[in-house]
Amino acid sequence: MLTFTVLGPVTARRDGEPVELGPPQQRAVLALLLAKAGKPAGQSELIDLVWGERAPTSAANLVHRYVGTLRRALEPGLTTRRQGELLTRQAGGYELLIDADASDLSRFRALVARASMAADLDDHVAALELVRGRCAAELGRPHPVFAEIDHEVADAARAAADRALALGKPEVVLAGVRRIAGWMPLDEALHVRLMRLLVAMGRPGAAEDVYRDIAQRLVEQLGIDPGKDLRAALRMADVRAAVLRPAQLPADVRSFAGRGGELADLDRWADEKVEVLCLEGMPGAGKSTLAVHWARRNRLRFRDGQLYVNLHHAGPDTAVPMLRSFLRALGLPADQVPESPDELAAEYRRMIAGKELLVLVDGVCRVDQIRGLTPTPGALVVVTSKRRLPGLSEVGKVGVVSVGMLDPEQSRELLSRRLGAGRIDAEPVAAERIVQACGGLPLALSLVAARLLMNPGFTLASVVDDLTTVFGGSGLRTVFSWSYDRLGGPAARLFRLLSLHPLDGFSAPVTARLLDVDQPTAEAALAELVDSWLVDQPKPGRYRAHELVMAYAHDLSEEIDSEADRTAATARMVQHYVQGTQWAHDSLAAEQNEREAVAWYTAEHEVVETLIRQVDEPWRLTIPMQRFYLRRGLLQDWEDSVRISLAKAVDPAPRARLLMGLAGVSQVTGRLDEAVTLYRESLIVGKDVDDPKRVIITLIGLAGVEEARGDRKTAGIVLKQAWEIVESRLGVEGGPLPEDTKILLRYLLDTGDELGLFESEVVRAHLAAALN
């Protein structure tokens, strides 16, 4: 069987084997006959294609010879004088008679026609895959017929893009549209579609590159500016870039010093296109500072943004929360974030496909924490770890940089940047002894500098004797002690008790509860810790302390504070978060101070989540957290917290509320049968608990599920039971109602109206009257 191509190279094949088509002039004759697709090509038209204005006087004979040679090539065995069946002579020209499916052009047109009526993209994709270049491009001979076919191809690519965008599947046609746009570098409409596809895939940076390239070509080759549709596509890319381009890197350290070798190694690994870049070294060696400094210096390499997460003190289960956080930062709505680890990893890979992203994961302890971050081309995962991670190569191509101690010159540079060059130059011998005693540990050097900054009258020599006497081999505890020993009583006690906090990040109010003092006293103590460099304030209202500093604080607390004091402080801290979650819950329920309540939840929910996994009575936190979980769509976090609390709850009162909450999770995730079971189990468990409001809420939820399952009769009965409890237990007809009772009644009234489940207007009237 003979097959032909003209959408790109001009070829012929017999049973899969190539047919020799001869010189360019002869191939041009075949190309025009194929492009005519069953219509004759006139002899003068062929002559014009092959020679243009330079046609020889023998051009007609030469065309006749080319046709004869093609006939014998396509139909072996033909004699010189026979015309054959494929390439026939017509009045004034020639015609190629082949089956429709023998030509890529005919197959392309058939697929395009079918695609216009199809619901999916299969025919669009198949049509674009047939195109291997501009029509007869290899010949370098322009012709109106060839140009018209190129327009057909461009139209098909634009139609495929529009259909893919309408279906929300831009990735399906991207490769074909991009390839064809490359062959038509001045087609503005086609490049607009390419930009829209890239933006829809979350790659606005790549769309901006497309715009820059075609804009330059239009100016240089045609002397015109991009049209309004291209400019509109650029604006759309700019908007999406602003939304989807995360910029989560922490601030750089202004006094960063040294590390020239490590920075060069990091640059080298990045140039070698590694997928994972690991900074490893002992605690306090400055891995995090170096990673952030390098990342900020190289962030322009990664035009689609930077992701960051701090896993220090994050606990054993970090991969799932990290992926959820990254997906939200990449623009995925909370209610679309998957639940299982495998689904999260798959969605993450989908969202970063083709993106040039920098992902910095600080404080990795195990490879499985980042296994879901398998990089794609153009992305780089940078991790810091105080442990060696030999299995890191399972994640991707790895580059490792060991972060050791600063050398003496770098140590002096760090001191000079912190203290000023004049102070170091004035006491070079003492400065040298400090450098030697600190052993190149950046954290130790920073704390020494802090001691000198806080005491402008101190000379460098005045601290040397303490260093050389006490350091021995490590000396870090002594370095920390300099800052600690200068603290006043409340600040010193706060420093020790901060080691009881579950995370290294905290807000100012919790410090008052740890100390059991008023807020001004606590804030003064906290300010003293910040001034002493023992605590950092990365942003207003939030504080953190380095893990080594907190380890030192923990040791001090165990040495100085009694077990009773530590237990009492922990209880006060937990109570602070219990009261905070309850206040935020009540505020949202009453639709008061909503902004402040959401801000509190947002700032503190990671701390609360950690405490839920640590305390003996986690339901005190879980129950008031549920409204926030639902509001933010954190359904998996909600379910996990409830199940953790249920495992520890024995008393029927909290168990009934937790079961009600678990039923709520099942309800909003569509597990209706499970929700019914849990709501009814909550009613059974709490049957002897005097809590009518909880029973009413449970019945309202159960009615909603029964109605969703199609059992309106049962739903109506359940809602009626709720109203009977309202009448018998809440005294709705006995005078003014408390605000929380009004909220509950509104909930009941709204639910009944929404579901249409009230059996009579009397009940509705009673409810409305009670509210008024």
Cα-Cα end-to-end distance for the chain: 87
Residue 741: the pLDDT is 60
pLDDT reading at 226 higher than 80: yes
Tens of pLDDT, residue by residue over 10-65, are 888 888 888 888 888 888 888 888 888 878 888 788 887 878 778 788 888 888 88
The pLDDT of residue 471 is 37
Range in 521-530, 566-575, 747-756 with the lowest mean pLDDT: 747-756
Query: How far apart (Å, rounded) are the C-alpha atoms in residues 411 and 442?
Result: 8
Q: To the nearest whole number, what is the mean pLDDT of the chain?
A: 84
Q: In the predicted model, what is the mean pLDDT of residues 376-396? A: 82
> Which residues, including other chains, have CB under 8 Å from residue 383's CB and lie 6 or more apart?
276, 277, 278, 279, 360, 361, 362, 364, 370, 389, 392
Whether 752 contacts 700, CB under 8 Å? no
The SS3 call for residue 401 is strand
Say which residue, 127 or 696, is predicted with more confidence: 127
Q: Which residues contact 47 (CB under 8 A, 6 or more apart)?
A: 55, 59, 60, 63
What distance in Å separates the CA atoms of residue 44 and residue 47, rounded to the nearest whole number? 5
When mean pLDDT is compared over 68-72, 629-633, 645-649, the highest value belongs to 645-649
Examine the pLDDT at 418 and tell me if it is beyond 90. no
Assign 3-state DSSP to the chain and report helix, strand, coil percentages, each to 5: 65, 10, 30
> 717-764: per-residue pLDDT in tens?
887 888 788 777 766 555 555 565 666 666 666 666 666 655 545 556
Q: What tokens appear for 582 in the block?
A: 């309850």
What is 591-659 written as a DSSP string? T-SHHHHHHHHHHHHHHHHHHHTTSS-THHHHHHHHHHHHHHT-HHHHHHHHHHHHHH--SHHHHHHHH
Confidence of residue 559 (pLDDT cuts 50, 70, 90): very high
CA dist 112 and 158 (Å) reads 11
Q: Which of 59, 58, 56, 57 is nearest to 46 (CA)?
A: 59
Q: For 675-713, write each residue's pLDDT tens digit.
A: 999 999 999 998 888 888 888 888 888 888 888 888 888
Q: What is the pLDDT of residues 260-317, one digit of tens each?
A: 889 999 999 999 888 899 998 766 778 889 999 999 999 888 888 889 998 876 666 7
Assess contact for 737 and 770: CB atoms under 8 A.
yes
Instruction: Report pLDDT digits (tens) over 137-193.
Output: 877 777 888 889 899 999 999 999 999 988 888 889 999 999 999 999 999 999 999
Q: What is the mean pLDDT of residues 473-501?
A: 81
CA distance 545 to 533: 9
* 579 pLDDT higher than 60: yes
| Buried b or exposed e, range 327-341, using 16+ CB within 10 angstroms | bbbbebeeeebbeee
The Cβ of residue 512 has, within 10 Å, a number of other Cβ atoms equal to 20
Percent of the chain with pLDDT over 90: 28
pLDDT at residue 244 in the model: 58
Lowest mean pLDDT of 76-85, 127-136, 596-605, name the range: 76-85
Res 667: pLDDT: 86
Mean pLDDT check: name the lowest of 514-518, 519-523, 534-538, 554-558.
Answer: 534-538
pLDDT value for 474: 47
Question: Considering only CA atoms, which of 86, 108, 88 is closest in space to residue 40?
Answer: 88
Measuring CA to CA, how many Å separate 167 from each of 191, 198, 337, 347?
Answer: 19, 15, 20, 18
Question: CA 56 → CA 24, 62, 144, 683, distances in Å?
Answer: 16, 9, 22, 100
- The predicted-structure confidence for 234-263, as pLDDT tens digits, reads as follows 777 665 655 557 888 888 887 788 888 899
Does residue 444 have a pLDDT over 70?
Answer: yes
- Model pLDDT, residue 32: 84
DSSP 309: E
CA atoms within 13 A on the CB side of 617: 10
> CA angle, 330 as apex, 325 and 333 as ends, to 5°?
75
Is 339:635 a contact under the CB 8 Å cutoff?
A: yes
Ordered strands of the 536-539 beta sheet: 505-507, 542-544, 536-539
Residue 264 is predicted with a pLDDT of 94
pLDDT above 80: residue 210: yes
Instruction: Let me know: does 295 contact 253? Beta carbons within 8 Å.
Output: no
The C-alpha atoms of residue 630 and residue 392 are separated, in whole angstroms, by 37
Provide the residue count of the chain: 772
pLDDT at position 723 is 77
Q: Look at strands 17-18 and 2-5 and give their pairing.
A: unpaired
Picking from 353, 366, 363, the residue whose alpha carbon sits closest to that of residue 171 is 353
Residue 767 and residue 742: Cα distance in Å, rounded?
10
CA 661/CA 625 separation, integer angstroms: 10
**pLDDT surpasses 90 at 451:** no
Q: How far apart are alpha carbons 298 and 277 in whole angstroms?
A: 13
pLDDT-wise least confident of 225-234, 424-433, 607-616, 678-687: 225-234
Return the sign of the alpha-carbon dihedral for residues 240, 308, 553, 482.
negative
Element (H, E) at 310: strand 306-310
Which span out of 342-346, 382-386, 659-663 was modeled with the highest average pLDDT? 659-663
Residue 747: per-residue pLDDT: 63
**In sequence order, which residues have a C-beta less than 8 Å from that of residue 596 and are 6 or more positions away?**
587
Report the DSSP beta bridge partners of residue 401: 279
- Region 348-375: mean pLDDT is 83
Tell me which residue of 198, 188, 208 sits closest to 164, measured CA to CA.
198
HEC secondary structure over 467-488: HHHHCCCCCHHHHHHHHHHCCC
Q: Look at strands 398-402 and 87-90 and give their pairing.
A: unpaired
Cα separation, 740 vs 752, in Å, equals 19
Token pair listed for 419: 């203290």
Q: Check: CB of residue 531 under 8 Å from CB of residue 487.
A: no
Tell me the HSE value of 380 on the side-chain side, using a 13 A CA sphere: 25
pLDDT, residue 708, reads 82
One-letter amino acid at 192 equals V
User: Coil, strand or helix: which one is 395?
Assistant: coil
SS3 (DSSP) at 384 = strand
pLDDT value, residue 316: 63
Angle, helices 144-167 vs 170-183, to 10°: value is: 160
